[in-house]
Amino acid sequence: MADWRVIEGGVTAPKGFRAAGIAAGLKPSGAPDLALIVSDTAAIAAGVFTTSQVRAACVDYCQQHLEARAAAQAILVNAGQANACTGPQGWQDAVTSAETLAQTLGIAVESVLVASTGVIGQPLNMAALTAGIPPLVAALSGTGSDAAAQAIVTTDLVPKSIALELEMDDRPVRVGGIAKGSGMIHPNMATLLAFVTCDATVSPPLWQAMLRRAADRSFNQITVDGDTSTNDSLLALANGQSRAVAITEPGPAADRLEAMLTAVCAHLAKAIARDGEGATCLLEVTATGAPDDAAARLVARTIAGSALTKAAIFGRDPNWGRIAAAAGRAGVPFELKNLRVQLGNFVLMEQGQPLPFDRAAASAYLKQASAGEYLKTDTVTIHVAIGSGPGQGTAWGCDLSYDYVRINAEYTT
């Protein structure tokens, strides 16, 4: 059982962090579009990024930064322009953004990470961005997480935020996070933009390893449309301000912190999947009986990403054949006689054979899920067993609706 609890505050819940979000004029709509997260002291930094060969300048900038120095103090995020496929000027704009923020905060430029989201091929509106940095810094607050979360969204319907706390050495240790993502979501790293803060003291290699594993169990297990972004970035800062004993090697303390970090990432990942463009429900797929956890995660992810399965769920059609077919093409060997498929409480297939079930009731289950209140009761669950192995894994997605096509057909027009 988890030994942490949910608290308020998002990325400003951990001690020593402030955040802000303002409208700087980067979005034509006039909505908030510039966010900042700052640690009061230098922090250990880790990151996981898109594996796409077509990457935004901010991705390359942050990767090079973290390879040279696993530390940072501030993260600047803009929405409106992705600064991807923008050539040498895009790189220079990322550098200038970091330099301008560093000068305003009075810290070294090496302490600044940057991230962008928006339309690919559009360079940053540098006049608006640089003019927005002084008021953004002035707006920094210990309660500014919600404003920052709102400022990074694009087609999202709602911002995503969470904070958790547990006791270590009789001291509260906290992890908080915010994220954005709704479309162009498919795991090839992480996917999306996500930012995590923590007030524990952790060695840099251990913090990076924790974040990579957390991403594999959360952001790398979500899919909306099968498209990976050019800007995918997951950045995490740990500043040690909790004053709990430093975690420098694997062990029980590291395991507890990693479990809480993973829970934060999983919450944000599920929120992104549920907020998929045009989605009416969250899809949670669990695979068991695989040779290992990685194989199980692959099976679950393949089913969650199946366009035919997603369309059937939107149509409230308990078409288990699409689920079985997706499991079969995941690339994990298994024998058909061992396949079991369950939708909610309805067992549709057992030992590779179809079972009689109440189709009307199963369809009603799907309809009830689609009518659920956002992020509360609107989850469709699928459980697939492929054998008797120890591996298990879960993936999250959403249904595929008519609105997904409409939203993306009109995205730049």
One DSSP character per residue, 261-281 reads HHHHHHHHHHHHHHT-TT--S
Contacts of 235 (CB under 8 A, 6+ apart): 45, 46, 47, 62, 72, 75, 113, 115, 194, 195, 196
User: Is residue 66 within a helix (H) or strand (E), and if so which, with residue range?
Assistant: helix 57-68
Phi first, then psi: what are they for 14, rounded to 5°? Answer: -60, 145
> What is the DSSP annotation of 180-212?
E-SSS---SSS-SEEEEEE-S-B-HHHHHHHHH
In the residue annotation, 191 being an active-site residue is answered as yes
**Count of beta carbons in the 10 Å neighbourhood of residue 338:** 14
The residue type at 30: G
Tokens of 275: 């907020």
Q: If you search the block for the tokens 């594996």, which residue do you land on?
A: 51
CB neighbour list of residue 289: distance below 8 Å, 6 or more residues apart: 296, 334, 338, 385, 386, 387, 388, 389, 391, 392
Q: Which of 12, 50, 154, 191 is catalytic?
A: 191
Which of helix, strand or coil describes residue 114? strand
Task: Tell me if 81 sits within 8 A of 231, measured CB to CB.
Answer: no
- Known catalytic residues are 191
